Structure 1
Amino acid sequence: MEMSKQLPLDGVCVVEIGHSLAAPYAGMVLRALGADVIKIESAGSGDYARDWGPPFIDGAAALFHAVNHGKSSIAMSLSDPSQAESLRELIVRKADVVLQNLKAGGTEKYGLGADHMLALKPSLVYCNLGAFGTVGPLRDKPGYDPLAQAFSGLMSFMGQPDEALSRIPISVNDMGTGLWAAIGVLSALFRRQSTGVGEVVSVSLYETALSWGGMQIADYLASGVLPGRWGSGTAAIVPHQAFECSDSTIMVAAGNDRLFRRLCEVLQVNVLAEDSRFATNGARVSNRVELIDLLQHEFGRKTATYWLERLDEVGIPCGPIQTVDQVVVHEQTRALEILQKTEDGAATFVGLPVTFGGRRPADTGITPKLGEHNHLLTDALEETPLA
C-alpha cells in the first residue's frame, strides 16, 4: 500500500517554547509527522543544546541537529513585554499546539501560561513538560534526566551488583517525556476534531521515569523485595543475558522452558533441562547464580560466531553486542533506511521509528540558524488583525 503524500499532521502548527531535549524531542516527533514547528529560542544564546558538543556541525552540536532539523527558529527575549505580546499574538493566530518546558512558572511569568492562552484561544492544545509534575512538594523543583533516574529508583537497579551505581547512558527520561508529550498532544488533537475544544496536557521526567520502572515497582509492592541488579540480565527471566564466548560476548534470550531446553541441546548439557533446579523459569530464577556459571563455562569453550550460528538454527533469540560503528553500517540498519540526512546533507540522524504504508516520513528539512525565521513573526502579525 502506498503511503499518502499527506503526512498525518500536515496543516498543524506547533509553537515550541523549549530548550535542551524533552520539548525539542516532542517537537521533532510532531514535525516528522508533518506539523509545522516554530521553535522559540532565547535571543543571543539560543537553545542550550546548540552548545552540547563536540561534535559540532555548522556551528551547532550534532545533538541539536538530530532533534531540531526541519523546524523554524524565532529568537526573542520573553522578558521584553512587547516581544512576549508578539508571541501571544502569533500563538493565537497560528498555533494549534504549544509545547513548553521552561522552569516552573516561567510561561506564567511572561503571560504565556496554559490558562491564559486557552482563555485567548480555547481550541489550543497546550503541553507542559516539567521535571516532577504539576502537583506535590517538588512541583517547582528543576530537574534533568540523571536526577530523574536517581530519584525515581531507576539507578538503584542498574549495573552489576558489585559495581558502583550507574545511570542509563542515554537521556531516556527526556526522550520518553517527549514521546508521552507527543502521545498526549495527538490524543488531544484527535478529541478536538469532535469537540472543537483544546486542553492542557502535562507530562514530566519523574512520571516518565516511574513508568519505566513500573514492573520493578509492581514486583516490590507485591513481594516487599527490592529489585536486584542483574547487569545484562533481567530479574524475572533466566537465562536472558550476555555470555562471554572464547573471543567476544553475545546476548542470549531463552525466555521460556522450551527455548531453555533447546539451549541445553545446543550446548550439549541436556541434563540441565531435566534438573529440578532449572526445569522451570521460576526454578531457574531461584537458582540463577549456579545455572549462569554452568552455562558460562560452556559458552566460553567456542567462538561467538560458532554459537550464534547454532542458536539461530534452532530459533533461540540471540545476537552480538555491537558497537555504534558496527550498527550504522549493518545491512539491517541500511535496509530500514532509518538513518536520514538533513536536506542540505550537513547532518545525519536517526529518523522516526515508524512507517506509513511501508514508508518512513522523509521530509527532513534543514537545521535552522538561531533566529533564521524571525520574519515569520512579522508576517503573522501583519495579517488580518485579531477580532
Structure 2
Amino acid sequence: MSALLDGITVLDLSRVLAGPYCAQLLADQGASVVKVESPEGDECRAWGSPAPNGLSHNFNSVNRGKRSITLNLKSEPARGVLRRLAGQADVVIQSFLPDTARRLGVDYDSLRAVRPDLVFCSVSGFGSRGPLAGKPGYDLTMQAFSGIMSLTGHEGQPPVRSGVSFIDMTTGLNAYAGVTTALLARERTGRGAHVQVSLLETAIALLGYHGVAWLQQGIMPRPQGSGIAHLVPYQAFRCADGWLLAGATNDAAWRRFAQGLGRPDLADDPRFATNQGRLDHRGELVPLLEGIFASGTVAGWVERLQDRQVAVAPLHDLEQALGHPQVLANDMVVTALTPAGQAVPLLGCPFKFAGEAMPPRRAPPPLGADTADVLAGMLGLDAAEIEALRQAGAL
C-alpha cells in the first residue's frame, strides 16, 4: 500500500505532545515532516529518563518519522530561513503563544504571505478567543479546569489525574483531523486554511454525556471510582488473583451476566431485574457481586463471561497489554530504526487503511541532526551558505 500523504511537506514548530503527535501521525501516512526546534530543543527531550537511543521516552512517543533542524528564531537570518521553508511547505504546525508567534514571524498571517494556500495549524491551551486566550495550558491543568478531574477518582478523596495525558494526545488527533480536512478542502478549492485546536476545547468535548446531562438537566456527576453512575454493575471487581472489570450494559446483558456467575437467580430477583432497580439497590448488589468474584480467578471469570457476550476485561498492566496477541495483531507495537540501525520500539498508529499499517520510516531524530540536509534539499543552500548561517547564530 502506498503512503497516502506522499508529497506533502510539513513544518512542525510545535513542542511537547499535542502538536508533535499530530505531525507524527502525518509522517506515519507518508508526509515529509521537518521538526523545527530552537538550539535548546523541544523541552520534551529532557522530560523523564533517557531511552536506549539517548532521547527521552516522552520525546520518542510523538516524534518518529521526522527530520530535525535547529533555527534560532530570535535572529532575523533564521526567520528568513523559516519563511523560505514555509514557502516550500504544505502544512505548518505551531504551538507558540499568540504574542510570541507574531514576534517570531510564525503566525498565520506572516506565513501565508509566502504560501497563500498554506494549511496552518495552531495548537493552544485555551483557544483563540476569550480572556485566557493568551495563557499557557497543559494537560494536567486542563484536566482540572475543564471539570474532568472533578469526576475522576473516588468520592470524598483528594483529586486524581488520569494516568495518561489523554487531553494532549486527543488534541493531537483533533489537529490531525483538522489538517487532513483542510488538505482535502484545498484540493477542491485551492485555498489554504487556519486550523485552530486547543487543549480546553478538546477537554470540554470529551465531557461527552456528562456535559450534556449538566446542560440539559443540571445533573452534577460525582466521582465513581471504576464505575459508571447510570449502570450497575459496571466496575472493577477483585478476584482471588487480581482484578477485572465487568458490566451489564442492559437488562438482557444482566441476565447473561448472572448466568455467567452461576447465579441465574439474581436475574429474577425483583430488586435487580431492571437497571433502575439495580441502581436503587446498588448498595446491596455490589457487595454481593464482590463476594462472588472473590471466589474465582480472573482468567476463569473472564472466560465464563466472555462466552456469554458480557462486557469483561482483565485489568492489565503495561507489560500484559503491550504483549497481548490482540494488541500485536493490530500493529500497535512497531519498531523504527535509527540511522545507525538501532531498533526503537514505539506505539503504533491508531488508525489503518484497509487494515494495513504503514511501517514507521525513521526513529525520532537527535536534535538538529538533519539541519544541513534539509537546508540543502529544500532551499538549495550550499555548505558555505549553511556555515555562514551558523556563524550568524541562526542555526
Q: Please give the range of the TM-score, normalised by the shorter of the 2 chains.
A: over 0.9
Give the drift of 1:289.
2.7
1:171 corresponds to which residue? 165
1:19 corresponds to which residue? 15
1:120 aligns with 2:110: no
Q: Residues 66 and 362 of structure 2 are in contact (CA less than 8 Å); yes or no, is this contact kept in structure 1?
A: yes
- List per-residue Cα deviations over 1:14-39 (Å, max 9, x = no partner): 10111111111111111101110000
Which amino acid in the other structure matches residue 352 of structure 1? C
SS of equivalent residue, structure 2 residue 61: helix
Give the drift of 1:377.
2.2
**Which residue among 296, 305, 311 is the counterpart of 1:302?**
296
Once the two structures are superposed, the pairs formed by residues 24-35 of structure 1 within 5 Å of their partners are: 24-35=20-31
1:374 aligns with 2:371: yes
- List per-residue Cα deviations over 1:247-277 (Å, max 9, x = no partner): 2111112211111011112223333323343
Give the drift of 1:107.
1.6
1:160 corresponds to which residue? 154
Once the two structures are superposed, the pairs formed by residues 129-168 of structure 1 within 5 Å of their partners are: 129-168=123-162
Unaligned runs of 5+ in 2: 382-395
Distance 1:200 1:286, change over 3 A: farther
SS of equivalent residue, structure 2 residue 98: coil
- List per-residue Cα deviations over 1:196-241 (Å, max 9, x = no partner): 1001000000110111112111111222221011111112222111
Distance, in Å, in 2 between the alignment partners of 1:269 and 1:223 is 37
SS of equivalent residue, structure 1 residue 360: coil
Which amino acid in the other structure matches residue 26 of structure 2? L
1:222 aligns with 2:216: yes
Moved more, 303-312 or 133-142: 303-312
Which amino acid in the other structure matches residue 269 of structure 2? D
Once the two structures are superposed, the pairs formed by residues 282-293 of structure 1 within 5 Å of their partners are: 282-293=276-287
Q: Residues 39 and 73 of structure 1 are in contact (CA less than 8 Å); yes or no, is this contact kept in structure 2?
A: yes
Distance 1:225 1:137, change over 3 A: same
SS of equivalent residue, structure 1 residue 120: coil
Q: Residues 118 and 199 of structure 1 are in contact (CA less than 8 Å); yes or no, is this contact kept in structure 2?
A: no
SS of equivalent residue, structure 1 residue 225: coil
2:42 corresponds to which residue? 47
Moved more, 255-264 or 271-280: 271-280
Which amino acid in the other structure matches residue 71 of structure 2? M
1:90 aligns with 2:85: yes
1:324 corresponds to which residue? 318
SS of equivalent residue, structure 2 residue 36: strand
1:72 aligns with 2:72: no
Give the aligned CA root-mean-square deviation in angstroms: 1.6
- List per-residue Cα deviations over 1:6-58 (Å, max 9, x = no partner): 21111000101111111111111111011100000011x21111111214333
Distance, in Å, in 2 between the alignment partners of 1:291 and 1:136 is 47
1:61 aligns with 2:56: yes
Q: Residues 104 and 141 of structure 1 are in contact (CA less than 8 Å); yes or no, is this contact kept in structure 2?
A: no
1:275 aligns with 2:269: yes
2:361 corresponds to which residue? 364
TM-score (norm 1): 0.93
- List per-residue Cα deviations over 1:49-83 (Å, max 9, x = no partner): 11112143332112212211220111011010110
- List per-residue Cα deviations over 1:151-187 (Å, max 9, x = no partner): 0000000012142210112111111111100000000
Which amino acid in the other structure matches residue 249 of structure 1? W
Give the drift of 1:120.
2.6
Distance, in Å, in 2 between the alignment partners of 1:305 and 1:106 is 55
Distance 1:308 1:366, change over 3 A: closer
- List per-residue Cα deviations over 1:316-352 (Å, max 9, x = no partner): 1212111111122222223223211112334211110
Give the drift of 1:378.
4.2
Q: Residues 335 and 360 of structure 2 are in contact (CA less than 8 Å); yes or no, is this contact kept in structure 1?
A: no
Distance, in Å, in 2 between the alignment partners of 1:305 and 1:58 is 37
Distance 1:49 1:269, change over 3 A: same
Which amino acid in the other structure matches residue 14 of structure 1? V
Percent identity of paired positions between Structure 1 and Structure 2: 38
Which amino acid in the other structure matches residue 166 of structure 2? V
Number of aligned positions between the proteins:
377
Distance, in Å, in 2 between the alignment partners of 1:30 and 1:146 is 25
1:233 aligns with 2:231: no
Distance, in Å, in 2 between the alignment partners of 1:303 and 1:382 is 65
Q: Residues 65 and 367 of structure 1 are in contact (CA less than 8 Å); yes or no, is this contact kept in structure 2?
A: yes
Distance 1:287 1:122, change over 3 A: farther
Q: Residues 133 and 206 of structure 1 are in contact (CA less than 8 Å); yes or no, is this contact kept in structure 2?
A: yes
Distance, in Å, in 2 between the alignment partners of 1:303 and 1:365 is 43
Distance, in Å, in 1 between the alignment partners of 2:277 and 2:91 is 52
SS of equivalent residue, structure 1 residue 364: coil
SS of equivalent residue, structure 2 residue 37: strand
Distance, in Å, in 2 between the alignment partners of 1:135 and 1:379 is 38
Distance 1:283 1:219, change over 3 A: farther
